[in-house]
Amino acid sequence: MNGVLYSLNISSGGVPKAAVKSANIKSDGLEGDFNRFRSEKGKGDLDRAVCIFSLERIEDLKKEGHPIDVGSTGENLTLRGVNWEDLEEGVRMEIGEAVLELSEPCAPCSKIGGSFLGRRFGRIDHEKEVGWSRWLARVIQEGAVSVGDSVNIVITSSQQ
């Protein structure tokens, strides 16, 4: 399963995150991006270094009437062409020079409410809408990434 890195998104805090053409992914996330998991109380949660979402899911949500856009839900990487419903914990993604491993579905919070009709951000809650959530990932290999880089999905032996 392969896709493309459609957008890289960073912010000095809050949403939406703004698109950039390239970035370095470090063990604690994208350089230049404020990450609350990394910054709270000076302790970083490296399992939540990068937030990833699907362009196709964003487009489908727009068709439902939600005012969502790329970066508006706080994702760092927006991917196109990845079969979102097949993703699970432990899946690895090779993107540019970086390798990421999905750690958990990203629970939505009220800060992204403006991206949804009636502020119903639960629309992308994995517990309620399996296959619609953003994903959090740990960084296995640091490296540079750029918009247009291919995304290679690697299924590890424990997932087969």
Sheet containing strand 143-146, edge to edge, reads: 29-30, 22-26, 143-146
Q: What is the pLDDT of residue 41?
A: 45
Give the residue numbers spanning the domain of 17.
2-159
Model confidence at 40, pLDDT cuts 50, 70, 90, reads: low
Total-model pTM: 0.92
Lookup: tokens for 110: 């009220």
pLDDT tens profile 61-102 = 999 999 999 999 999 999 999 999 989 999 999 999 999 999
Is residue 155 pLDDT above 90, yes or no?
A: no
User: What is the domain count for the chain?
Assistant: 1
**What CA–CA distance (Å, rounded) separates 130 from 105?**
9
**What CA–CA distance (Å, rounded) separates 45 from 37?**
6
Residue 43: CATH number of its domain: 2.40.33.20
Is residue 25 pLDDT above 50, yes or no?
A: yes
